[in-house]
Amino acid sequence: MTFVCWAGILRLMPRPISATISSAALAHNLAIARSHVGAAKIWAVVKANAYGHGLLRTAAALHESDGFAMLDFADALRVRGSGVEKPILMLEGFFKPEDIALLLRHRLTPVIHNMEQIEMLEKTGIDGTLDVYLKVNSGMNRLGFSLDNVRLAWNSLHGNPRVASVTLMTHFADADGDGGIAGQLQWFNELTQPLTGTDPAPRSLANSAALLRYPDQACADWVRPGIMLYGCSPFSFRTAEDIGLKPAMTLTAEIVGVQQLQAGERVGYGMTYEAAQEMTIGVVACGYADGYPRHAPSGTPVLVAGQRTGTVGRVSMDLLCVDISDIPEAYVGTPVTLWGEGLPCDEVAMAAGTVSYELLCALAPRVPIVET
């Protein structure tokens, strides 16, 4: 009881770490996507809690999209519950016969990618009609129908009175890499043209990388950007700034401790980092339990008081250490940017041997969000 009163009177002060999510940046990045895709409609991909940015706040910021793409039924119901009327694409379709009632009741568009889903749709006794996506495996070999069963799937959907429309879909494995999309695009066309004949069905092909790199070939009727909406680049050879994107998430914390090291002294678990000369270390209130990658090596870039420096030693659960030898004004309370405004998440990801997708998605629920 006393604790509750104290908490109420004093307002609990959180640890000095927060993630700032910019609605303006999200809306700006959607406009950038729009500028590349001509008349194609845009599914804003908001799976994985909108890549860590918060599902409902992101859906609100991206209200100019033509629909939202996600995986989880609970998420789809939350988005519908927030008043969103536009189409919702379920990227993995549905899993159980009872899911079909949810699809119909909430007007969700499932991606149909296996024969089990086709059979569940044939057997269902529930009334109503659905728009569906038919996913074609054009070479990624993850989800989708291949040469042996794509016609069966197409015919079943077209003969099913509950199916109002079928959009053909595929997903590119290497739109950002050396492979590009040509091979998959050609195989997709070979698989689908015999189905549709002279009256082509609507198509959805492109993720962020494909719509930016191959706008003329890949945009089709609906595009499916994810990462670019969050202000990161899908490419290793082109920065987000080059594309005109703005970071939607900025992860900041503060220095909560300072240590003076002599040459030969070591830092952190495993004592993996040894000071070559005298140096000053700032201890930052951010660790892997906040979503910072534990495998980020010494030298991973950070901003301290707006100046670039690097991490030292192993990232621990709640703390990481940074070199502040050349930033004399840095002390307890000095702000530190882990990624975002002023320090692209892509750079931190590259240094840590991963991609910005993983860093953004891993933002931990314990990090307070500041909305701007």
Give catalytic residue positions.
Answer: 47, 269
* CB closer to ligand PLP out of 88 and 267: 88
Of 283, 339, 282, give the one whose Cα is nearest residue 19.
Answer: 339
Phi first, then psi: give them for residue 108, nearest 5 degrees. -100, 145
**Residue showing tokens 């892997």:** 288
Residue nearest to ligand PLP (CB): 226
Q: Enumerate binding residues for ligand PLP (CB under 6 A).
A: 45, 47, 91, 171, 207-209, 224-227, 234
Of 330, 279, 325, 270, give the one whose Cα is nearest residue 297.
Answer: 270
* CB closer to ligand PLP out of 171 and 314: 171
**Residue showing tokens 């000071």:** 275
CA distance 302 to 295: 15
Determine the length of the chain: 372
CA distance 247 to 343: 9
Minimum distance between the CB of residue 211 and ligand PLP, rounded to whole angstroms? 8
Minimum distance between the CB of residue 36 and ligand PLP, rounded to whole angstroms? 12
Minimum distance between the CB of residue 31 and ligand PLP, rounded to whole angstroms? 16
333, 255 Cβ separation under 8 angstroms? yes
CB atoms within 10 A of CB 47: 17
Instruction: Using DSSP, state whether 286 is helix, strand or coil.
Output: coil
| The two three-digit tokens of residue 24, written as one number | 């303006």
Minimum distance between the CB of residue 258 and ligand PLP, rounded to whole angstroms? 39
65, 248 Cβ separation under 8 angstroms? no
Q: How far is CA 155 from CA 134, 169, 275, in A?
A: 11, 16, 68
CA distance 47 to 268: 35
CA distance 187 to 295: 39
Q: Are strands 307-312 and 301-304 parallel, antiparallel or unpaired?
A: antiparallel
CA distance 242 to 245: 8
Minimum distance between the CB of residue 315 and ligand PLP, rounded to whole angstroms? 25
Minimum distance between the CB of residue 226 and ligand PLP, rounded to whole angstroms? 2
